[in-house]
Amino acid sequence: MSTQSKNALLHAVASRVEQHRDAILAANQLDMQAARDAGLASAKLRRLEVTPQSLAQAIAGIREIAALPDPVGQVTSDITRPNGLHVRRVRTPLGVIAMIFEARPLVTLDAFALCFKSGNACILKGGKEAARTAEVLAQCVRDTLDAHHMPMGAIAAANHWTRDQVAELVALEGLVDLAIPRGGPELISFVRQHAKVPCIFHAAGVCHVYIDESADVTMATDIVLNGKTSAPATCNATECVLVHTAAASRILPVLAQRLTQATVRVHADERAMHFMPGAHPASSADWGREYLDLELAVRVVDSLEDALAHIAQYSSDHTEAIVTQNPAIAAQFQQRVRSSCTVVNASTRFNDGFQLGLGAEVGISTSRLHAYGPMGLEELTTTRFLVDGTGQVRS
């Protein structure tokens, strides 16, 4: 399929979703009410909700994906060997991608658009709590494919499948080329247990902000507040703040005041408690914890080395940020932290496919093979070799 045809289809999907905006929001209200009645946790309710703003961003994401270069067929290297062989390495689709995700119904649009543009078919298994919303979104895609006489097999929605059916899906060697589970520890563990196909895991987001001794107070507190409160139920939300001891007396009282105003519950170690008297004493369980709520762990450290050691022990390899006015310290932090994204003087919330210019993402990989970080178009392809000769034989 030509790039022009794929892009035209994506623009048509975006327009159809826009036209069915009221139906999508109405379906989501039914899902939200059922989830509330079932006692779904507040963090999952936030991930389940579709707002006019989040829907508009999803539509913009589809159009941005259409505007991005098509990775399929891209030549990543082109050399001629001494024996005259012409060797090209080109991008090619992965094949059939199964996504298993919880709560977030708009993943339906992101995943389809990215898979379709990169030449892959997708099987989408969302959570039952989002089934009504996801079905309306999937129907928008199917209707658009049908109207444009394009293959209906480009998307399969399986929101009502049971756990046994999911276990069967991720065991379909030779039929499913990649499975991407995106959710909590229980889902990740379940897929690990049953998968026989390759998997890339979108696991927990235990994201840290390290405030260096040279940090500006306003910048540091703005970054922490944004990272914690702008969308606390997301995997790129800030969960732990590490503060250099030389900055603690300047930073922590101001941070404590702003966190209190934002109704954030703080779990602080003994040294941080000295400057944050309204905080709750932290226990060992607070380090490495993904709160997904208006809760935050705070710890005072003696040096960059101590901050790096804490991150190495408790990070989930998702996102780490540093706030500093010292370029050498910033460079050390970026070189030595191994997470999928390291950020200098900005919020952890920027580790996101849309924010990083990928249009959207099918997830943020915390695995290192073959993709790491937000998975956009290129990450949904692999490369293969095309070799042209003139009769060469190997001696």
pLDDT digits (tens, 9 = 90+) for 258-287: 999 999 999 999 999 999 999 999 999 999
Q: Do residues 334 and 214 share a domain?
A: yes
Q: Which residues contact 71 (CB under 8 A, 6 or more apart)?
A: 91, 118, 377, 378, 380, 381
- With 90 as the cut, is the pLDDT of residue 370 above it? no
With respect to residue 393, please indicate whether it lies within any of the assigned structural domains. Answer: no
Whole-number average pLDDT of the chain: 96
**Does residue 184 carry a pLDDT above 90?**
no
The answer for residues whose C-beta is within 8 angstroms of residue 22's C-beta and 6 or more apart is none
pLDDT at residue number 204 = 85
Q: Phi and psi of 242, rounded to 5°?
A: -110, 125
pLDDT at residue 347 tops 90: yes
Same domain, 125 and 248: no
Query: Do you find a cis peptide bond into 86, omega within 30 degrees of 0?
Result: no
C-alpha dihedral sign at 3, 7, 8, 10: positive
Q: In the 8-state DSSP scheme, what is residue 106?
A: T
**Interacting residues of 102 by C-beta distance below 8 A, sequence separation 6+:** 44, 47, 126, 127, 129, 182, 183, 184, 187
Domain assignment present for residue 364? The answer is no
59/104 same-domain check: yes
At residue 253, the pLDDT reads 98
Q: Do 26 and 170 fall into the same domain?
A: yes
Tell whether 368 is covered by a domain: no
User: What three-state secondary structure class fits 167?
Assistant: helix
Is residue 229 over pLDDT 90? yes
173 and 239 together in one domain:
no
What's the confidence (pLDDT) of residue 165? Answer: 96
How large is the angle between the packed helices 3-19 and 107-117, nearest 10 degrees? 160
What is the pLDDT averaged over residues 210-216? 98
What pLDDT does residue 295 have?
Answer: 97
Residue 360 pLDDT level (bands cut at 50, 70, 90): confident
249 shares its domain with 278:
yes
Give the pLDDT confidence score for residue 203 in this predicted structure. Answer: 78
Q: Poorest-confidence range of 171-175, 231-235, 356-360?
A: 356-360
- Average pLDDT for residues 236-262, to the nearest whole number? 98
- Confidence tier at 202 by pLDDT (50, 70, 90): confident
The three-class DSSP label of residue 74 is coil
Is 370 part of a structural domain of the chain? no
Rg (CA), the chain: 23
239 lies in some domain: yes
CATH no. for residue 26? 3.40.605.10
Alpha-carbon 393 to chain mean position: 47
Same domain, 214 and 196: no
Q: Is residue 53 predicted with pLDDT exceeding 90?
A: yes
Model confidence at 368: pLDDT above 90: no
For residue 363, what pLDDT band results from cuts at 50, 70 and 90?
A: confident
- Categorize the per-residue pLDDT at 314 as very low, low, confident or very high, splitting at 50, 70 and 90: very high
Band of residue 185 on the pLDDT scale cut at 50, 70, 90:
confident
Which stretch of 48-52, 116-120, 199-203, 303-307 has the lowest confidence by average pLDDT? Answer: 199-203
316 inside domain: yes
Measured distance CA(80)–CA(276) in Å, rounded: 64
Is 291 within the bounds of a domain?
yes
pLDDT of residue 44: 85
Both 226 and 295 in one domain: the answer is: yes
Q: Say if residue 180 is in the same domain as residue 214.
A: no
The CATH number that applies at residue 280 is 3.40.309.10
Range in 160-169, 232-241, 359-368 with the lowest mean pLDDT: 359-368
Q: How confident is the model at residue 45 (pLDDT cuts 50, 70, 90)?
A: very high
Residue with tokens 């022009």: 4
Are the C-beta atoms of residues 348 and 370 closer than 8 Å to each other? no
- Give the per-residue pLDDT at 355: 93
Residue 360 lies inside a defined structural domain of this protein: no
pLDDT on residue 110: 94
Domain shared by 80 and 185, yes or no: yes
Mean pLDDT for the stretch of residues 71-97: 97
Residues 126 and 256 in one domain: no
Mean pLDDT to the nearest integer, 253-260: 98
For residue 186, what are the contacts with CB-CB under 8 A and spacing of at least 6?
none
What percent of the chain lies above the pLDDT cut of 90?
Answer: 90
pLDDT of residue 359: 80
Q: Which two tokens stand for residue 305?
A: 């080395």
Query: Are residues 378 and 112 in contact, defined by beta-carbon separation less than 8 angstroms?
Result: no
For 332, the domain range is 207-350
> Are 27 and 134 part of one and the same domain?
yes
163, amino acid identity: R
- The number of folded domains in the chain is 2
